[in-house]
């Protein structure tokens, strides 16, 4: 195949449904052993792309290789080489831990000769030794989720698709889970992650942001925070937030103003230049600012900035 | 003056036990009019149970809750008059249009005909869905459904709004839009109690109660919460986070070390002491890194520290 170091490659990938272009020429190269995040708002074309990558949907144009196999001509081989895990619906709550593992081993056609060994390996990896006979429904969230991961990797797939794998679980369990993913990645497993939660996105080595079927940003989390925002972020603390925000929306150089808890977040082109101007602007209108400083954007800020600046101006919401 | 009457929501020693688990354990907090208060914690922290007791649909085993000065357990019908509860699955009728859903809820809450038209218009506008009034609710996107649910919950001008994980499953753009609407509602003097499993969302609330396994860990503004963090948080940015971890894993002064996608997130005893020391250590080990600096703690940092200190976490 093209580059043996890549485990997922797409070239001008397109999917049309009638007149609607769900995926509009996406090019990706995910490296072997990479934890790759695939983000985008609902309806951006994320699920359509994933379904094509899993060999469940045929591309209209362009191509995609997963684990060295073409998704259009070899969907069966693609499916044998991937594991899929979602926090929401993968496990049977009324089966025990071992029964779930056996079921998934069957679904993934794990050969009988290695079955016992694989199940033991999955139990060890998930830290669930000795818990084989517990009913899945009674397990704490963090255990359930490691069991779901264990089920998804029984056939030792080189590529794992993870769909919001740690949504809602407690932060300690989440950290343990991502440690496990990074350990597997170090052994060469590629993780392809989709999520709406920026807390999960932070665990990815690189992130791709798609919007309206197109790739609109690509980079490491810190690269995106540094470069992808259209402007810089200022935090403003003052009294009467609602008056201040109305005024600030009309202030020169302010691209966006929104309430953020007990403060206001402003998007400006140049924070250093705008700070004295805006302090003056508010003071003149009778608002004393307690604090105004540049803050580093969160991934969510980047996400919102990139997707709204891609929208045509006429459609932009106020 | 009675404290129960002074606050829009007043909760004292609230308790609920289910067989084998104490879902809510002696919880106390208060919410003022015009305030957004967050119940924040992972699944199983007791958020939904608390909401349901406040909404008068679950009886507490101990303690009490007052809504606009009314004891919910004693006078649930009266309390319900002041509040609106939006559970995780809000009952929208998918085969009714947006406008019909609003009308239905106006009937349900007994909103007078003279008032309801203006109110419905106001809410449709605030939620940004006035162009969709003839669309079937079932044909709305997830984010729009959420906004319609909110509009329905507000049709009778409640004093207290209870929102159970309103942004779960909603994408960041819609989530931000939803918060914008919540902030605008405050001008009407509503008290909003919202819950979330996403600790970063806590930053958007005026005050938050951080919950874990039914117990209150902290209750304060996000800013003050972070001041309660022991030690400092450092961020290392590096292309090979694994190599950085190996080099620093056994270094002195680290109480928590988490690998992220392009670096390491560390909690240390002292930033001024450890930054130069780690710089030196990484250079000596020949490990490439881009930067190492102190960053502001997140609510997650505080949560993890509190849970670890108490040793209450399992699994």
pLDDT at A10 over 70: yes
pLDDT, chain A, mean: 90
pLDDT at A89: 61
Q: Is A197 on the interface with B (CB under 8 A)?
A: yes
Q: Which helix (H) or strand (E) holds B163?
A: strand B160-163
pLDDT at A79 over 60: yes
| Residue that wins the pLDDT comparison between B131 and A169 | B131
Confidence tier at A240 by pLDDT (50, 70, 90): confident
In tens, the pLDDT along A258-272 reads 889 889 999 999 999
Between chain A and chain B, the number of residue pairs with CB atoms below 8 A apart is 126
Its ipTM equals 0.85
Q: Which residues of B touch A42 (CB under 8 A)?
A: 141-143, 170-171, 174
pLDDT class of A172 with cuts at 50, 70, 90 = confident
pLDDT of A318: 30
- Among B42, B144, B179, the strongest candidate for a mutation testing the A interface, having the largest count of A CBs within 10 A, is B42
From the list B44, B45, B307, the residue facing A172 with the nearest CB is B307
Confidence of residue A315 (pLDDT cuts 50, 70, 90): very low
- Structure token pair of residue A121: 């390996």
pLDDT recorded at residue B118: 93
Would the CB atoms of A42 and B142 count as touching at under 8 Å? yes
Q: Do B43 and A42 touch (CB under 8 A)?
A: no
- Give the residues of chain B that fall short of pLDDT 70: 1, 312-315
Q: Compare CB distances from A171 to B237, B300, B314 and report the shortest one's residue.
A: B300
**Residue A208 · residue A215 · CB < 8 Å:** yes
A311 pLDDT exceeds 80?
no
Q: Give pLDDT, residue A310.
A: 60
- How far apart CA A208 and CA A276 sit, in angstroms, is 36
Instruction: Render pLDDT for B265-310 as a digit per residue (tens, 0 to 9).
Output: 999 999 999 999 999 999 999 999 999 999 999 999 999 999 888 7
Taking 60 as the threshold, does the pLDDT of residue A317 lie above it? no
Would you state the pLDDT for residue A316? 33
Q: What percent of chain A has pLDDT over 90?
A: 70
Interface test with A, best of B171, B176, B302 (most A CBs within 10 A): B171
Average pLDDT estimate for A190-204: 93
Give the pLDDT confidence score for residue B169 in this predicted structure: 79
The reply to whether A261 touches chain B by the CB within 8 Å rule is yes
List B residues 218-257 in contact with A (Cβ-Cβ < 8 A). Answer: 221-223, 237, 239, 241-242
For residues A49-70, give the mean pLDDT: 96
Cβ–Cβ below 8 Å for B200 and A206: no
The pLDDT value given to residue A70: 97
Give me the pLDDT at residue A105, please: 94
pLDDT at A86: 82
Pick the residue of A188, A262, A294, A305 with the most B CBs within 10 A to test the interface with B by mutation: A262
Please tell me whether the overall predicted TM-score, pTM, comes out greater than 0.80 for this model: yes
pLDDT at A314 over 60: no
């Amino acid at each position: 195949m093209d580059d043996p170091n890549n485990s997922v490659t797409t070239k001008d990938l397109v999917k049309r449904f009638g007149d609607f272009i769900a995926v509009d020429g996406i090019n990706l190269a995910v490296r072997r052993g990479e934890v790759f995040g695939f983000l985008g708002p609902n309806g951006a074309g994320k699920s359509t792309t994933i379904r094509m990558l899993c060999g469940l949907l045929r591309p209209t144009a362009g191509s995609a290789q997963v684990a060295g196999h073409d998704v259009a001509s070899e969907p069966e081989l693609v499916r044998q080489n991937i594991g899929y895990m979602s926090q929401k619906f993968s496990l049977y709550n009324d089966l025990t831990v071992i029964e779930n593992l056996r079921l998934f081993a069957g679904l993934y056609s794990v050969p009988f000769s290695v079955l016992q060994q694989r199940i033991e390996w999955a139990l060890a990896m998930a830290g669930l030794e000795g818990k084989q006979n517990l009913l899945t429904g009674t397990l704490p969230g963090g255990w359930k989720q490691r069991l779901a991961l264990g089920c998804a990797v029984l056939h030792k797939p080189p590529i794992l698709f993870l769909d919001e794998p740690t949504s809602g679980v407690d932060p300690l369990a989440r950290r343990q889970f991502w440690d496990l993913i990074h350990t597997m990645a170090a052994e060469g497993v590629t993780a392809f992650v989709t999520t709406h939660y920026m807390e999960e996105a932070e665990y990815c080595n690189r992130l791709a942001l798609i919007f309206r079927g197109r790739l609109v940003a690509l980079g490491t989390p810190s690269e995106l925070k540094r470069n992808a925002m259209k402007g810089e972020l200022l935090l403003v603390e003052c009294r009467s937030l609602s008056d201040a925000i109305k005024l600030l929306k009309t202030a020169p150089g302010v691209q966006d103003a929104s309430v953020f808890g007990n403060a206001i977040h402003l998007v400006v082109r140049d924070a250093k230049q705008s700070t004295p101007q805006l302090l003056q602007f508010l003071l003149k209108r009778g608002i004393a600012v307690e604090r105004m400083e540049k803050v580093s954007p969160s991934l969510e800020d980047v996400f919102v900035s990139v997707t709204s600046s891609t929208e045509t101006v006429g459609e932009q919401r106020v | 003056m009675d404290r129960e009457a002074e606050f829009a929501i007043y909760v004292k020693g609230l308790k609920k036990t289910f067989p084998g688990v104490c879902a809510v354990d002696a919880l106390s907090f208060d919410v003022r009019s015009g305030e957004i208060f967050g119940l924040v914690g992972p699944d199983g922290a007791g958020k939904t149970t608390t909401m349901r007791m406040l909404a008068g649909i679950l009886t507490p085993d101990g303690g009490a809750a007052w809504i606009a000065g009314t004891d919910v357990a004693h006078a649930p019908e009266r309390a319900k008059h002041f509040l609106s509860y939006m559970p995780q699955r809000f009952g929208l009728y998918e085969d009714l249009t947006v406008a019909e859903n609003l009308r239905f809820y106006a009937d349900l809450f007994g909103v007078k005909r003279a008032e309801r038209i203006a109110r419905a218009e106001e809410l449709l506008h605030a939620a940004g869905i006035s162009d969709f009034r003839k669309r079937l609710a079932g044909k709305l996107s997830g984010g729009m459904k959420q906004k319609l649910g909110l509009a329905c919950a507000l049709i009778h001008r409640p004093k207290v709004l209870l929102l159970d994980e309103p942004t779960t499953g909603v994408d960041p753009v819609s989530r931000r839009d939803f918060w914008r609407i919540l902030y605008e509602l405050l001008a009407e003097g509503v008290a909003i109690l919202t819950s979330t499993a996403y600790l970063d969302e806590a930053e958007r609330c005026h005050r938050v109660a951080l919950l874990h396994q039914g117990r209150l860990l902290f209750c304060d503004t996000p800013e003050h919460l972070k001041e309660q963090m022991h030690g400092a948080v450092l961020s290392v940015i590096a292309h090979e986070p694994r190599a950085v971890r190996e080099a620093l894993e056994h270094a002195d002064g680290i109480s928590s070390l988490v690998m992220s996608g392009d670096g390491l997130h560390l909690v240390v005893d002292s930033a001024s002491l450890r930054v130069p020391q780690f710089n030196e250590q990484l250079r000596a080990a020949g490990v490439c890194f881009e930067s190492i600096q102190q960053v502001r703690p997140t609510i997650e940092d505080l949560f993890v520290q509190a849970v670890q200190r108490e040793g209450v976490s399992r699994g």
